[in-house]
Structure 1
């Protein structure tokens, strides 16, 4: 008996290490993902000076990534539901890394726009994939913490990478910056393929393995297998499910929130270095170091949010408080970006922008709502819709800021970012409502728009909520 207990304990420990190893892979992939989508912001001033691009043209270049990134979110989510992650992830890594390298060979405005579109196209499935991996590997009460860890990669990675990328550009020029960034991504694609395994492959020989990964009991897994309609699993990519994804007020609440949250994020990922260099008069190297401080603040925000949220769930606090509160507080803090318009010193500007990005980090666990609310077999699809709407902010906000700041005055741009944060706050307060999983309706009730009362029912065997 003691030997059996020891073996089970050792097995559970090994499996726990496996899932945290997977989390480390996602974290580093997010760092590389954001390096390749934001290196253009570090190079922006040099590109603009070298190729004589206007602010409006740079706004279009910043936006171009999001044109295809947004459009491909829903197809990307469907791909995530259909193709093994171990095969899909290395493919898209290599593809967007090659586009990053080619970017460094170009001098034409239209060609650079095309390359940015290619990077967005191939990065599109990455975040739905990240969310599905966490949904598969982590129990619901661990999920916000796991999402916080990998999401923090976009902040802590860029906090340290901003000065490094500035140094690389100083040594090798803006073209060399793209060559080195793309090369790192190709190497990482090989590492991912060698190290990652899908959880189904890990647990083929032992049902208990899935118990350790997700926290499900054998009886719960049995009930899920008995109550899941195979036709629903096979219909994930159907138009019927797409209609469900766009018919729920609850889902629209998190979609709008993601759009508004993205408005703050995209400012920091695109125009922020230019704001510091041109409007605040910092040197190129100082810009890299100062720009890293708000990213560190966001990193602290997202980790605090994720682990505090999971702790509250484990203590029995409702999802309405444990999951929503960090997002609402975070969006409120993000609106303080407007205060940077009323100070002159670099220290105060850095302070208010750091508070703003700390708030953005607090709210960045909003991906957890996809796995909490989405129908059981539509996590990838709803994640794609969620990121599609969020990605539209990356289409519109950079161009809007380009026009608002075309005369060199960034104050209207910061007002825009603050207003978006407040709209997002209202979306979570008034649209999301009670946090519970949407169940697929019977086929004969799928015609016509579906209200929340038609499609949302609490189902203990599949919702994964802690009671």
Structure 2
């Protein structure tokens, strides 16, 4: 069968790839603007609603619990229904929930709004993984995965720059209203423009390109039994446990960085806002570079699986290495520099983990395995703000950061020791 290089991408496929990635990045930026709004408005909301650090940790984690639990069904739904409608519906749900957060007048109301936000945002990354597997051959999935993952730190980096002035000029409520409206517009654009590849409309060269130079696999089993079969493989458990560690440490910074800089390092509002953006700009670069690099590493490794897994392990261990001085140094400048390296590596790890899912999963279950990995990750994401808030309230942020480093180390070892071989397709009985 014909083999293609990156420069041999059929023109119509390349146009569809570009459109899909642009749409995924736009939706992803809005996704993370919505998540980060609470962190940016942290101090104002705590004062307005009279919340303690512990209560704020619970509020910051409410999103992650529902988001994590919804990963269990949403991956299978994306594989069955397709990313166009699942992500479109998700955009509408999460945007309405975000706007509802702006109406919150009590702790309980806010928790409900954040739970609904987590439900709505659940399809974003499983849908993106499915889009990449639909439009890119296996050897070239790292770069587009890095591109759509770069929306995460980009959205977080833009949040304090865009939302802090809006909050200062109006109130924290308007930050939720404006970002909610942006998501509703994005929902209309996504559903109107995105389409999956239709095999009947593809030419021979286009089908050969998407097949990646290998024969199409035999049809696999479908339904709930095939989804459950993923849990029989230690690769699934390794990816879930590994992503738990990576996301835990990432969400320590994602949810608490502005509050940490203000409370522990005594920065003023403007300084903390700028310092909170710098690490996530580095994270944006990390996702882009890691996506590109993982394709190169995988092409030279014994297998796509081992190359992409090793990239995750190295990036996650790097997060651990730089978190220790970030917690212990006296200099604010040096601390922010170390945190910037952690966020660079966190987003590199995430991009590589999602590209790993596209080669570790059976072809019919890519979104399902990616969602299960994300489920494990966001159990860590849900625990991080709660545990960090209570450790900081009881002692300080230093042991909270060191705890995150230890959990991330366990995650790296889970990837290394458990994620060894790809999961085979379940055959139809």
Mapped partners of 2:209, 2:281: distance in 1: 31
Q: 2:9 touches 2:209 (CA, 8 Å); kept in 1?
A: no
Does 2:211 match 1:220?
Answer: no
Matched residue, 1:208: 204
Q: Distance in 2 between matches of 1:137 and 1:213?
A: 9
- Distance in 2 between residues matched to 1:312 and 1:333, nearest whole Å: 17
CA distance in 2, matches of 1:282, 1:11: 50
Of 148-157 and 303-312, the range deviating more from structure 2: 303-312
Out of 170, 173, 178, the position equivalent to 1:172 is 170
8 A contact 1:99–1:118 mirrored in 2: yes
Query: What corresponds to 1:112 in structure 2?
Result: 110
Return closer, same or farther for 1:172/1:349 CA change in 2, 3 Å cut-off: same
Q: If the length of structure 1 is used for normalisation, what is the TM-score?
A: 0.85
Distance in 1 between residues matched to 2:357 and 2:8, nearest whole Å: 33
Larger mean Cα displacement after TM superposition, 356-365 or 125-134:
356-365
Residue 293 in 1 paired to residue 278 in 2?
A: yes
Structure 1: gaps spanning 5 or more residues: 1-8, 444-467
Among 333, 356, 373, which residue is 2:318 paired with? Answer: 333
Report the counterpart of residue 362 of structure 1 in structure 2: 348
What is the match of residue 415 of structure 1? 402
Pairing partner for 2:392 from 390, 405, 411: 405
* TM-score under structure 2 length normalisation: 0.93
User: Is the Cα–Cα contact under 8 Å of residues 260 and 390 in structure 1 kept in the other structure?
Assistant: yes
Q: CA deviation at 1:407?
A: 4.3
Instruction: Judge conservation of contact 1:249–1:431 (CA < 8 Å) in 2.
Output: yes
Q: Which residue is equivalent to 2:23?
A: 25
Q: Distance in 2 between matches of 1:384 and 1:421?
A: 19
Structure 1 11/160 Cα, relative in aligned 2: closer, same or farther at 3 Å?
A: closer
Greater radius of gyration (CA): 1
Written as runs of structure 1 = structure 2, the 5 A alignment for 1:28-427 is: 28-200=26-198, 203-208=199-204, 210-211=206-207, 214-217=210-213, 220-221=215-216, 224=217, 227-229=218-220, 232=221, 235-236=222-223, 238=224, 240-315=225-300, 318-319=303-304, 322-335=307-320, 336-364=322-350, 365-407=352-394, 409-427=396-414
Runs of 4 or more above 4 Å deviation: none
1:412-441 alpha-carbon deviations (Å, 9 max, x no partner): 11011110121111112211124x342315
Structure 1 residues 102 and 15: CA distance shift in structure 2, 3 A: same
Equivalenced residue count is: 421
Conserved? CA contact 2:363–2:425, under 8 Å = yes
* CA positional deviation for 1:342: 2.0
- Aligned match of 1:446: none
Extract unaligned runs of 5+ from structure 2: 1-6
